[in-house]
Amino acid sequence: MSQEPSRAEHGKMDQRASQASEFFAVTHAELVPFVSDEATWYDFDYLETVELAGIVQSHYGVALTETLLALPFWELLDFLDGKRTHADG
């Protein structure tokens, strides 16, 4: 009997699927990664930090810091959503 390999918890990310989809769309991710609840941007980064900061500033109206990028990704999504200054995204 084969067992499916266990994956890290991802319930918090599942609850933020639309926020994550928006983020990956505006950052032009070629492949959308599986993101566990513990993952940070640094676990799957695909853009230079300067390029990402420009996209986030333009889309969300929020300035990124290295501290923000070190948060669990679901917390970063919540932060961006809560602090956004561009209503239409």
More confident residue, 32 or 3: 32
Name every residue whose Cβ is closer than 8 Å to that of residue 43 and which is 6 or more positions away in sequence: 35, 73
CA distance 74 to 24: 13
CA distance 33 to 45: 10
Question: How much is the mean pLDDT over the chain?
Answer: 90
Task: Give this prediction's pTM.
Answer: 0.86
Name every residue whose Cβ is closer than 8 Å to that of residue 10 and which is 6 or more positions away in sequence: 34, 35, 36, 37
List of domains in the chain: 11-83 (1.10.1200)
In this model, does residue 1 exceed pLDDT 60? no
| Chain segment 15-58, per-residue pLDDT in tens | 999 999 999 999 999 988 889 999 999 998 889 999 999 999 99
Task: Pull the structure tokens for residue 66.
Answer: 């290295």
More confident residue, 88 or 87: 87
pLDDT score for 2: 56
Q: Report whether 60 contacts 83 (CB < 8 A).
A: yes
